[in-house]
A and B are shown apart, each in its own frame.
Chain A
């Protein structure tokens, strides 16, 4: 069975000579949630756009469900939500989904539309025009349109950037559900805590190259633990998650009362900062994520 997304040796050089991607390898398997991280201008959006056929690769091979990226067959298997998107202001939520059902060749009919709107929490907004929706509602509508036709690959570029915490939770639960359905998801996000929480694998790119890849646990490694006891806070560095219960038992055996156990800050963030450092990589290439004001990890959930 072909991977939902397979990327080998991908390069992209824009007009003017800007090298956005310099030989990227990446695989998103069926039912796999892959987080794509990197600073602004790293090439994340370019990679995503090549995968969905909006941008042409300069070299390398990209396939979606076995078909060359950008082909009609590949696009039939792909759902995509851009970071910077707009929907026609004059369409209602239902009309927008109907339009995309027709374009995607989806046979889901009204049942699919209703289900998707319920899924993203817009069940009561089906007749609301896009122009009357908040940015968060539009983003949720964007996620619903990306899921039309049950694609085998979902490419989400900053899907939660305009959502409130409740909206982010809805999307997280949705991503987990999609994984259980066997849909491959590539999540391009600056929210490291979110990526760490839901993704099976993480790829960090910088300057158009993969600089780190693996599961969040592999990349994060050991982390600090703070245990609040009756005699004060005990802090231990470099403790694996599996070792925390034994540590608590040890303290209890010493006669201490335990009030709380807290894991240290997102160690994926630490790993990210280690391989990428801080700051952007200069001016972004066309089509790349050039206007995100967030610093990586600024909103990482702890």
Chain B
């Protein structure tokens, strides 16, 4: 033993947070499930490309359906395909964000993974925020990458581009970030398995409420619409997703636009800029609650 002098020096919480974030990123990249996700994503993209290729072979730009009514088949098919791709991307992003935040608080504490890190001179809030940021970053980048690839495939196979691409992409990414927040909060209350089940059930509940809202719109049912709006406040990833869908076809009007609004993957609801602000407040509140619970928790 050389007895070399080593000293610990105060390190800023930002530096510590970046260390934890880097650790979380490494963890996400080295987990064995990620190659599986990669393979499944490639399979999804190949199937999407095949589907888009054959779908666009059947369409024409403007089709007369009688009484002077004209439908833009290319826009109808392209929007619906991209809406489907957006749903699939959101689902995959939700799976990844849930997986990457699995057991961040209670699960890791119960397994003994958290204690060696929590005794270091780093605040628990920093640990939590850094873990959220790491998982959120991977999930968001994944969702953006997959969605943009589907946009490219749609453009190449059918020469169709969405109306407001970057708005749609941003809102899709924000929806995935909101799901990550919900998962982090769930990790404060539940063990890993229960956390995964809880988040995926909430995800399903959000999407269901969105569909109910669309049905309510079509049937002119105020109650259904009100319930859907309430659900979109409680689970704002749904409202972001709906708004992203809307952005895909915002400039399509006429009969084509009306037909799109009736489908599950087209048209949808314009939630306005307020949903972004609400989502930021919502995420901040969720992280603050999770951090408060984490700080008080005996490990």
Q: Which residues of A contact B (CB under 8 A)?
A: 14, 49, 52-56, 72-73, 75-78, 80, 82, 84-88, 90, 99-100, 102-108, 111-112, 115, 119, 142, 145, 148-151, 177, 181, 286-287
Known contacts A72-B121, A85-B115, A88-B27, then 17 further A-B pairs from the complex at CB < 8 Å, ordered by chain A residue: A14-B298, A52-B119, A53-B119, A78-B119, A80-B119, A86-B111, A87-B116, A102-B11, A103-B120, A104-B121, A105-B9, A107-B6, A108-B4, A111-B4, A112-B6, A115-B4, A142-B116
Whether B6 pairs with A75 at a CB distance below 8 angstroms is: no
Q: How near does chain B come to A44, taking the closest CB pair, in angstroms?
A: 15
B123 at the interface (CB under 8 A from A): yes
B1 at the interface (CB under 8 A from A): yes
Whether B4 pairs with A105 at a CB distance below 8 angstroms is: no
Chain A residues with CB below 8 A from B3, complex form: 181
Q: How near does chain A come to B296, taking the closest CB pair, in angstroms?
A: 7
Residues of B1-56 at the interface with A, using a CB-CB cut-off of 8 Å, are: 1-11, 15-16, 19-20, 23, 26-27, 30-31
Question: Which of B111, B113, B120, B121 has the most C-beta atoms of chain A within 10 angstroms of its own C-beta?
Answer: B120
Chain A residues with CB below 8 A from B5, complex form: 150
Q: How near does chain A come to B103, taking the closest CB pair, in angstroms?
A: 11
Whether A150 pairs with B8 at a CB distance below 8 angstroms is: yes
Q: Which residues of B contact A (CB under 8 A)?
A: 1-11, 15-16, 19-20, 23, 26-27, 30-31, 111-113, 115-123, 296, 298-299
Chain A residues with CB below 8 A from B111, complex form: 86
Residue on B nearest A146 in the bound complex, by CB: B116
The residue that A287 contacts in the complex, of B23, B26, B298, with Cβ under 8 A, is B298
- Per the bound structure, the CA–CA distance linking A82 and B112 in Å amounts to 8
Whether B19 pairs with A105 at a CB distance below 8 angstroms is: no
Whether B115 pairs with A82 at a CB distance below 8 angstroms is: yes
Question: Which of A75, A90, A99, A103 has the most C-beta atoms of chain B within 10 angstroms of its own C-beta?
Answer: A103
The residue that A107 contacts in the complex, of B2, B7, B123, with Cβ under 8 A, is B7
Residue on B nearest A108 in the bound complex, by CB: B6
Whether B116 pairs with A145 at a CB distance below 8 angstroms is: yes
The residue that A103 contacts in the complex, of B2, B7, B19, B27, with Cβ under 8 A, is B19
Q: How near does chain A come to B4, taking the closest CB pair, in angstroms?
A: 6
Q: How near does chain B come to A174, taking the closest CB pair, in angstroms?
A: 8
Whether A115 pairs with B1 at a CB distance below 8 angstroms is: yes
Chain B residues with CB below 8 A from A150, complex form: 5-8
Q: How near does chain A come to B117, taking the closest CB pair, in angstroms?
A: 7
Q: How near does chain A come to B158, taking the closest CB pair, in angstroms?
A: 42
Chain A residues with CB below 8 A from B11, complex form: 102, 105
Chain B residues with CB below 8 A from A105, complex form: 8-11, 121
List the 10 shortest-distance A-B pairs measured between CB atoms, nearest first.
A149-B8, A108-B6, A103-B120, A105-B11, A54-B299, A90-B30, A86-B112, A150-B6, A72-B121, A55-B298
Q: How near does chain A come to B31, taking the closest CB pair, in angstroms?
A: 7
Q: Give 15 A-B contacts (CB < 8 Å), ordered by A residue.
A: A52-B119, A72-B121, A75-B121, A85-B112, A88-B27, A99-B23, A103-B120, A103-B122, A105-B8, A105-B9, A107-B7, A119-B1, A148-B6, A149-B7, A150-B7
Given A85-B112, A90-B30, does the pair A54, B8 have CB atoms closer than 8 Å?
no
Given A99-B19, A103-B120, does the pair A287, B299 have CB atoms closer than 8 Å?
yes
